[in-house]
Amino acid sequence: MKDLISLHDLSSEEIKELLELGLKLKNELKHGIPHPVLKGKTLGMIFTKSSTRTRVSFEVGMTQLGGYPLFLSSNDIQLGRGETIHDTAKVLERYLDGIMIRTYAHSDVLELAEEADIPVINALTDLLHPCQVLADLMTAYEHKGKLEGLKLAYIGDGNNMAHSLMYGCAKVGMDCAIAAPKGYECDAEVIANAKNDFKMSGSTLVLTDNPAEAIMNADIVYTDTWVSMGQEAEKAERQKIFMPYQVNKELFSKAKNDAVFMHCLPAYRGFEVTEDVIDGPQSVIFDEAENRLHAQKAVMATLMG
Ligand code: CP
Ligand code: NVA
């Protein structure tokens, strides 16, 4: 495992090991036990999109591991002015011990990982968001005491979150149901890859356009913004099309009684989710946000240690 680009690339065992290490690092942090396993190492963090959680959790995480996080906005580095990914990779690998990148085209991250001899971590592309799902699996485990056999229902856009959740569920043996409106379904190649992983783990994948069908019997109800970064021009149209997919009290009540509500954040109350659900007693959104820190520390320690 040189890079973290997609959960599909990892074995079930590798994912379990990352989650276990994340929980161990979380426990050590809570008890004031230092773990400077990346002392003297530097992580370059390339952002061509906005971020609150990802930037802060990687910067703090790298610091807690004894290393140095270097924020590289695409507005400031030559990549944003047309320098090639190849040259950027070849230069950065001479200075850094790892690269984290958040950008639009997934192919750019694949190219960076191919060209750079140092680990590359995908911190969100238009296609995938694996770091978020590692944190989500960790959160599900903490709240439910297991992963295998649980059912996750994702209601909304067939986007980067839906894709990575599908991969994550398949790898850990969780059932997954995704309800997305026609025309906004998940990527066909991701579905095909995930179906193979589901076959291997024995859990199931349901793809539907009916939110009530997807949410039935769910242990975890997940949604994400209807307007991802880069889709701002489609905002009005999307808000109209997705309204029947809003996770409100009525829809949420069709899940299991003890279901938890999850959202990667940032959330838009009154659109993909109502206040009574996201701010209600079954919401675990801030646990997920916190676990970004612990899960990503496990990723950095594993890839860069
Ligand atoms: N969930 C997530 O990735 O949040 P940010 O966009 O704030 O990093
Ligand atoms: N689907 C969202 C996730 C944000 C963390 C986006 O890509 O903007």
Three-class DSSP labels, 192-203: HHHHHHHHHHCC
What's residue 156's pLDDT? 98
What's residue 267's pLDDT? 98
Stretches in the chain below the pLDDT threshold 70? none
DSSP state of 38: T
Residues 6+ apart with CB under 8 A from 260: 140, 143, 144, 219, 220, 221, 282, 283, 284
What's residue 106's pLDDT? 98
User: What's the token pair of residue 256?
Assistant: 């299991």
What's residue 2's pLDDT? 96
pTM above 0.95, yes or no: yes
What's residue 61's pLDDT? 98
What's residue 205's pLDDT? 98
* Nearest ligand 2 atom, CA 227: 8
What's residue 157's pLDDT? 98
Nearest CA to ligand 2 atom 6: 228
What's residue 29's pLDDT? 98
Q: Which-ligand-closest: CA of 264?
A: 1
Nearest CA to ligand 2 atom 3: 228
- What's the CA gap between 3 and 25, in Å, rounded? 20
- What's the CA gap between 218 and 224, in Å, rounded? 17
Cis, bond preceding 266 (omega within 30 deg of 0) = yes
What's residue 137's pLDDT? 99
Per-residue model confidence as pLDDT tens digits over 110-123:
999 999 999 999 99
* Nearest ligand 2 atom, CA 132: 5
Rounded to the nearest angstrom, the distance between the alpha carbon of 50 and the centre of ligand 1 is: 8
Between helices 130-144 and 160-172, what is the axis angle to 10°? Answer: 50
What's residue 55's pLDDT? 98
